[in-house]
Chain A
Amino acid sequence: MKDLSPTLQAKLRSSLHWSADGISLLVGGLACLLFGSGMFLSRYGTETPLRIFLIILCFVLWFPISLRHSQIVEWLKSRITYPRTGYVLPPYLAENKSHPLALAAPLGCEDAMPPGEWQRVRKDRNRRVLLMFALIALPLSAMTYVHNRWILFAAGIAMSVALWIGTWNVQRLPWVLLPGFPLLGLYMTISAPEFVGVQRFGLFFAGSGALLVLQGALSLFQFLHRNPRPFSLTP
Chain B
Amino acid sequence: MSDNGIKDLSSLDRLIHEPARLMIMTILYAVKEADFVYLQRECGLTQGNLSSHLSKLEEAGYLLISKTFKGKYPLTLCSLTRAGRQAFESYLAKMRFVTGQPSNNSR
Contacts and interface: CB of A to CB of B under 8 A. Distances in A.
Interface of A: 6-8, 10-11, 13-14, 17, 78-79, 82-83, 85-91, 93-95, 109-116, 119, 230, 232-235
29 contacts: A7-B26, A7-B29, A10-B31, A13-B42, A14-B27, A14-B30, A14-B34, A78-B71, A83-B73, A83-B75, A85-B41, A86-B34, A86-B40, A87-B35, A88-B38, A89-B31, A90-B32, A91-B31, A111-B89, A111-B92, A112-B92, A113-B104, A116-B107, A119-B107, A233-B73, A234-B76, A235-B47, A235-B51, A235-B54
A143 to B, nearest CB: 39
A89 B38 CA distance: 10
B106 A115 contact: yes
Nearest to B102: A115
A17 B38 CA distance: 9
For A11, A79, A234, which residue has the most chain B Cβ atoms within 10 angstroms? A234
Contacts of B71: 78-79, 82
Contact of A87 (B27, B75, B89): B75
Contacts of B32: 89-91, 93-95
Nearest to A14: B31
A233 to B, nearest CB: 6
A82 B33 contact: no
A234 B60 CA distance: 22
A87 B77 CA distance: 8
Nearest to B34: A88
Given A10-B27, A94-B32, A233-B73, A87 B102 contact: no
Q: Is the interface of B mostly helix, strand, loop or mixed?
A: helix
Interface in B61-107: 70-71, 73-77, 88-89, 92, 96, 101-104, 106-107
Interface residues of B, number: 37
Interface of B: 26-27, 29-42, 47, 50-51, 54, 70-71, 73-77, 88-89, 92, 96, 101-104, 106-107
B73 A86 contact: no
A8 B31 CA distance: 10
A115 B105 CA distance: 9
A1 B38 CA distance: 19
A231 to B, nearest CB: 11
Given A86-B38, A87-B38, A235 B31 contact: no
Contact of A112 (B29, B33, B74): B29
The 7 nearest A-B residue pairs measured at CB: A86-B38, A86-B37, A94-B32, A10-B30, A11-B30, A87-B35, A78-B71
B30 A91 contact: yes
A89 B77 CA distance: 10
A61 to B, nearest CB: 23
Contacts of B101: 114-115
